[in-house]
Structure 1
């Protein structure tokens, strides 16, 4: 691999989500899901990385690893533990976490919703509730009023398409539904929640004269959908349709308030506008589509991670170019990482994907940031503690933190603003 250097204003960092690292929260829908025995390794969210208590140690690691930015989740279940009642101690805790980041010159990007919500909302049908937009508006208003002097950058909703597919189509995640009409309602509701939150964040920060440039967007889970057989009409057609229903519909509606014809006839109208200040891309893999038996699989000659997902760095370049051409907004890589329990793939994974980002920048795409997923090993949803994505190893029994080889490599990239010739030699890239 040849060395590569990013523009001086490019920012490097990492990301986590509240429930996945904090531990100790019994008041959200994923705690209930784990208690019902759905987690493959039998773990639950109560241990995780104990970040709620150890955040100072974790911020020190961020600083030690030269991270300039950090994407963090806040938990609705902690902030509004009962319907209409906000917990001042919880929001004060998040203020202190953010203040700790700022003292270490690390810029926070706050995620309002990352798959989880309070039990009281779960009892009211979650994002299928007729009142969900009102509830999300109230929650957003409270958070921005309380944190807005410290935080200027927000993700409203993380991976709405994954939330919808796993929770309402495949039934693998809470609430465990397999209901297409209900999934359509959730699609609309989540989109309207984002649109409302986008406007609220901008309004409050403008009215209160909070410092910093307001930046609001969605963390979109995006994949490349390639036909198995190049030039085969059915494979191409199915790949195109899977791409639209899996990711493009959410991205279009949440960014512009409308959809292409004829899909636009199926969603509420009157929302045409501008609802994103950047395009957040969460990228992990691609889909190879086969129209013969409607399967999606990985080609046998491709490398895969520990979960069997194809490692395809060039897909990140393709998505950066495609989504910039579509929306003409700055691109932030809000997640990119690899399940690699023995830390043997991650160095080359990071180098390959960052090189793909640099290639997109060289072609004129304004990619501004890269958040590696994740800072540390965490509770990885259905996989529990068994799937490790972190730059930092967590010994769950002792909660000891150890920076991995890949974490040290990425730290040097953050420090140097790219992959130097010395790094190429040291890590045999």
Structure 2
């Protein structure tokens, strides 16, 4: 039975990423990838996307109309550093203007520094396979934080490093499409260094320059529940879970575990100010079959909808790391908008019922966007987008979300209106 609940202690907003919404050609790994025949499900390209680079004022108005309290956006590295060590003042000023506009509406901004895309010059040199990649990334991070640190106190260093490594260097589905476990380990190890050094650098810059606000730095970790279908499947489920989201614990503690290594390169410590969780689905492990549990509801991509998993993962991570929880992504591919109101209710109720310090929830996504290898085929947005005309359409689920924000939770009237 659906019952009302309160979210008075949780700020609600949305998340986007630059490559997925900006359009306006830039030289990065995903723009290059989309030029190669057969790489996209629908032959689309991030060159189009939502044309947010030009239409950001229109999109910010929609953010204001929805009453979002927080907004997660990313900086496109290739725009800010179009050539090694050469930074673009025009690009960083563009981002400053966008951030300031959001802040005038009372929206608190969370900046993601790396969301899957690399500058073409960086990718052509080997990307995060390079031994020098952590120092190259740190150069970029330093520039961005020095330039916007007076406006922004909250940062995601890396979005889903485990997904990036898995799809780019193990399953070969994303650029640079390598299927090499040794390279996957090397990239993950370098990404750990990237986060650890960026975490300390961001704190140092904001402290030395006396920028206002409490500095909050972490990473967005993609987590899934791995459920064995039968007792005999448990070893495989446990192994998959460790390799996918066990190795990322090094980004919290600074200590590598096998196969990454067995040392703490920057010393044991605490390299996080919040626990960032991206959650979408679970994996039902039944022998070689690793999809969702048969007979359960699924989204447009065939991912099982399993709200209980959010509660399970929040409790697990909080027990391990004891910090404020930020749900940095959570959403559903649902073009017809038949599932999203229920999805929002069920997942937000997991937060309300958890008793955990869940400070923020970022719905993925603000609007339909370029969804990586799925192209323009997957609709995750509260707001629909016709990619040809660029017309935005506020969905019914967006109105539900707006009311949740206004009421600091869900009332019985809202249940009767949106869930019956």
Aligned to 2:22: 22
Spell out the pairing of 1:234-273 with structure 2 (5 A cutoff): 234-250=232-248, 252-259=249-256, 265-266=261-262, 269-273=265-269
Contact residue 3 and residue 412 of structure 2 kept, 8 A? yes
Instruction: Say if 2:332 is the partner of 1:332.
Output: no
Structure 1 gap ranges (5+): none
Aligned to 1:417: 408
Residues 154-207 of structure 1: CA distance to partner in whole angstroms, max 9, x if unpaired? 000000000000000011100010011111110100010000000000000000
- Structure 1 Cα separation of the partners of residues 292 and 151 of structure 2: 44
- Structure 2 Cα separation of the partners of residues 221 and 278 of structure 1: 14
Aligned length, in residue pairs:
419
- Structure 1 Cα separation of the partners of residues 374 and 386 of structure 2: 16
Instruction: Say if 2:354 is the partner of 1:375.
Output: no
Provide runs of 4+ in structure 1 moved above 2 Å: 1-9, 262-271
Q: What secondary structure sits across from 2:109 in the alignment?
A: strand
TM-fit CA distance, 1:25? 2.5
Contact residue 26 and residue 79 of structure 2 kept, 8 A? no
- Structure 2 Cα separation of the partners of residues 3 and 87 of structure 1: 51
- Pairing partner for 1:351 from 299, 321, 345: 345
Aligned to 1:103: 104
Higher mean alpha-carbon deviation, 268-277 vs 196-205, is at 268-277
What TM-score comes out, normalization by structure 1 length? 0.95
Aligned to 1:156: 157
Considering only aligned residues, what root-mean-square deviation do their CA atoms show, in Å?
1.3
Contact residue 110 and residue 153 of structure 1 kept, 8 A? yes
**Change in 2 beyond 3 A, CA 1:270/1:79:** closer
- Structure 1 Cα separation of the partners of residues 181 and 192 of structure 2: 17
- Structure 2 Cα separation of the partners of residues 321 and 349 of structure 1: 20
Aligned to 2:298: 304
**Change in 2 beyond 3 A, CA 1:210/1:42:** same
Structure 2 gap ranges (5+): none
- Structure 2 Cα separation of the partners of residues 131 and 17 of structure 1: 25
- Structure 1 Cα separation of the partners of residues 239 and 323 of structure 2: 24
Q: What secondary structure sits across from 1:217 in the alignment?
A: strand
Contact residue 189 and residue 260 of structure 2 kept, 8 A? no
